[in-house]
Each structure stands twice: as structure tokens, then as C-alpha cells.
Amino acid sequence: MMSVAHRCGTVVPNLQATKQYVKSLVLAGAKELVPAAAGGTRLAHTDIKVPDFSDYRRQDVTDPNKSSQDSDENRKAFSYLMTGATTVVGIYAAKTVVTQFISSMSASADVLALSKIEIKLNDIPEGKNMTFKWRGKPLFVRHRNEKEITAEMAVNLAELRDPQHDKDRVINPKWVIVLGVCTHLGCVPIANAGDFGGYYCPCHGSHYDASGRIRKGPAPLNLEVPYYEFQDDDTVIVG
């Protein structure tokens, strides 16, 4: 213990002398010595230059004696111009992306070609029915004679399960165009058969007339009439 006290007694005078007599610091560019700060505080980093950002500042705000509000309108105009230009470019880019996305979901040319079928009516004799394949389904095209037309026009709608007049199912009375799919369970009916001389589904006994209307059996609805239009008297396009 005595040894430690002796050592501390030796060091303390030296510490006090250091606090009282501090070497002066040399400032950058100074020709004279400047006394150190009181209390022994060292003035560090006095030789660092402050960065100059004048090259990055606008010319309107470089003058420290001039108010920046004087050039406020000019600077706002530039900001508005950049914002407007960016907005226009962004909207155009978004429009392009949306257009391409929607176009990618559209049907291609070959699919659109298969969605329509052109039928030459001269190949179908009067009183006969011809079957075509359209969109993977059978398509019935029937060339009715005058007797069939008169009989279907005279049907009492009150007797029908799915009331629909013959003139509402045909464009030209001579031609009946319907999908050959039974509305009961999707079977393919037989043409020119059944109790009403139109179509007959042997699966469960559904009878349709020459207009494709259900007259007897379990089918709830008439045969579906697809969209079609006549290019001329001898050509029809379905789809």
C-alpha cells in the first residue's frame, strides 16, 4: 500500500503541470502560435476545408445576399415541367402494358377462323337436313319445304313447353339452323325423325319439330339457334 501511495504522489504533480502548461497548437495558414484552449481542450480538425457545392446549386440561388423567393417562379416552372413530362411518359407506358396484356388474351387469327363456318346452301336439297361440325359441336342446317313451313307457322304456342314462334327462330323460313345438341343431357338427336318429323333424341325420347322446338320428352328447352347471317341467297355464315 505504501508503494502505491508513493507512486501516486509522484504522478500527481506531473498531471497538474500538464494542465497548467499546454503546448500551443499550430493553425493551418497561421504565422503565429496560438495558445491552447483553457482546460487542456485540443482544437482538432482545424485544417479541414468546408466542401463547396456551388457547382450543384442553381445560378438563381448562389448569391447569399439575394432572396431565393425572387426566383421561386422559375424554379417551380422547371419542377412542374419535369413532373408533367414524367407523368405523361408513365401514362403512355402503362397504356402500352395494358394494351399488350389485353391483346395477349384475345383469340388468335386461326382461332377466329375456326369460330365461323361458311355453308353453301345449294348443296342441301329441299326437305333434307345436313350436319356440319362447328366449334366442336354438330350443326344442323335444314332446308324446309312449303308444307313444313306452313305446319310450323300454325303451331299453337300454348302447346309448347318452351314457347317460341317459328318466325323468331329463323331468318329465312326455308332454312332452319340449330345446334344438334339435345337440351336434356347433351346427346345428338337424329334428323328427320320423331313424332313431329323434326329431330329425335333416342337416348331419352325427346321429340323436336321441324323448327327445333321441344314437343315431347324430358328435354326442357328448344334446340339452340346460333348467330348466323346470309351473305347471299346461297351462302350463310354461322358464328
SS (H, E, C) 74-119: HHHHHHHHHHHHHHHHHHHHHHHHHHHHHHHHCCCHHHHHHCCEEE
- The rounded distance, in Å, linking the Cα atoms of 223 and 119 is 20
First to last CA, the chain: 113
Residues annotated as catalytic are: 204
CB 169 within 8 A of CB 212: yes
CB 203 within 8 A of CB 187: yes
- The rounded distance, in Å, linking the Cα atoms of 18 and 39 is 10
Phi then psi for 78, rounded to 5 degrees?
-65, -40
